[in-house]
Chains A and B, each alone.
Chain A
Amino acid sequence: MFDLLHYGFMQRALLGSFLVGTVCSLIGVYVVLRGMAFMGDGIAHASFGGVTLGFLLGVNPLFTAIVFALGTAGLIQFARRRAQIRLDTAIGIFFSFTMALAILFIGLMRSYDARLYGYLFGNVLGMSSGNLVLTAALTVLVLAAIALFFKEFKFLSFDEEAARAAGLPTPLLSTLLLLLVALTIVVSIKAVGIILVASLLVAPAATAYQLTNRFGTMFFLSWLSGIISCLSGMFISYWLNIPSGASIVLVATLLFGIAAVFSPKRRPCKVCSDREGRVEV
């Protein structure tokens, strides 16, 4: 197995998997705690519109994907406030709209580009040095933002209204968090693919959620689950010759299943016996 690591493509895949596993699992904690899973799915599909436009125009598809992901995240928020509709309705509208654009752009191409398959289903073994540099840069940016606003994001996730009343700039913080989720998705497209990236945002954090009652520990366990999924998924992808998105997400889901079965949170809590009017399940 260690012989494999002499190959350049394998070194890039290893580093790429590590970066994607890290960034997805850490921002994923907020996605799970704030209930943004469908938003992640919507932004991932929106970025497919960007990828196809990149192919059509002959520019780096990840750059156009960033524009689409950020633009759609902004449009969803704008439409929700302006049209006073539920968040899931706004996501549903733009999810389909950007997919429709993607199909239109594919239709406008002279011939189908087989590289699109890699963006849809993930191909971590095919990461170029350019992909890796972009992934590393965006990962550093997302991690720096999480570190800078750690306590603010914690308050926002626990009680947004109280955070605003306490003087925190909650509209700004919640938009920033959304932008970070959008960037994370674009970073991860190459490894996991558009269709499955939302799962990597949710599954490691959901696994950690099953296992701990501590906020900081949830980040550590989520990260552990994220990199185990990405690294083992990458090797499975190589050995079985299947798209890496599938193997990564299958491992991540398996870890979640194990955590859910053995979750210590299922056990009765120590202080619940004297709670008024609440039944512990």
Chain B
Amino acid sequence: MPVVESDRAPDSPAIAFRNVSVAFPEAVGLEDVSFEVASGDFLAVIGPNGSGKTTLLRAILGLAKPVRGTVTVLGAGPTQARRHIGYVPQRMPFDPKFPVSVLDVALMGTYGALGILHAPNRSDKGRVMGMLEAVGLADVASHVAGHLSGGQQQRLLIARALVQQPQLLLLDEPTSGVDVANQKSIVELIRGLHDKLKLTTLFVTHDVNEVMPCLDKVLYLNRRVYAFGTCQDILNRKTLEELYQSPVLIVEQEGRPYVIVSDRHV
């Protein structure tokens, strides 16, 4: 049951889920999920492991088909909208011996729009180099992609997604397997690019602290929409204590709030 409903219904949502259920043979993926995301919003999707966060992203991409309900993305069906969506999948470490360079991987972001028979031209390559510059990888563009560090590989996947010139950016736990210093810089990079490129962004994480200070909205998912609303609505002590059913402490350090549940981080 939703704890908090959104108080605002945007006119033309970038994403609209209406009573969406996704089922797998072995488990329920999502159950009766409804929410809307306005264009330009930065939505943090939080929830424990196995709560359907990745399934939610796959439903937006049309890779997971709902058994009930409808998903509308950028005013169309997910499959039609796919080319306007930049997707940063949960990172699996690259095969360090796979023979592709950093530039090769970033160029893959142009393939969907180019279509068969067209190779990236000089202007595509220039645009891709610009994107590698923006994520801080221009210096290693000729290196083997699998030789990059975890944080660099994550930046490369972000660059590849943005090379598609998407309107919507989906990130699936983009800081997993990355050290704390790099986590912070990746989150800052994503927020900077969100503003600069006027994106609608969905940032999926199991750690609420990663998206603090919160920008726009939060969706707390646990197969169902457990809570959906503005940061003020959800990331306050009272609501978080309802969500975690445990005493919550919000502490501020270096101007940044941290959520601590009982004696552990969430």
Contacts and interface: CB of A to CB of B under 8 A. Distances in A.
Interface in A206-258: 209, 212-215, 217-218
Interface residues of B, number: 42
Given A269-B144, A278-B150, A165 B111 contact: no
Contacts of B97: 209, 213, 265
A275 B105 CA distance: 19
B89 A161 contact: yes
A162 B147 contact: no
A275 B148 contact: yes
Interface stretch (B36-44, B79-87, B199-207, B208-216): B79-87
Contact of B83 (A33, A148, A167, A215): A167
A4 interface: no
B98 A276 contact: no
A33 B98 CA distance: 7
Given A33-B98, A215-B100, A217-B99, A167 B112 contact: yes
Interface stretch (A10-18, A42-50, A52-60, A152-160): A152-160
A158 B100 contact: yes
Given A33-B98, A162-B160, A152 B116 contact: yes
Given A149-B116, A152-B116, A166-B109, A275 B150 contact: yes
Interface in B84-124: 85, 87, 89, 93, 96-101, 104-105, 108-109, 111-114, 116-117, 119-120
B99 A269 contact: no
B164 interface: yes
Contacts of B96: 269, 280
A155 B105 CA distance: 8
Contacts of A277: 150, 177, 179
A177 to B, nearest CB: 14
B143 interface: yes
Given A84-B25, A162-B89, A168-B112, A276 B179 contact: yes
Interface of B: 25, 61, 63, 82-83, 85, 87, 89, 93, 96-101, 104-105, 108-109, 111-114, 116-117, 119-120, 140, 143-144, 147-151, 157, 160, 164, 177-179, 182
A-B pairs with lowest CB-CB distance, top 6: A167-B112, A166-B112, A165-B87, A275-B149, A167-B83, A213-B144
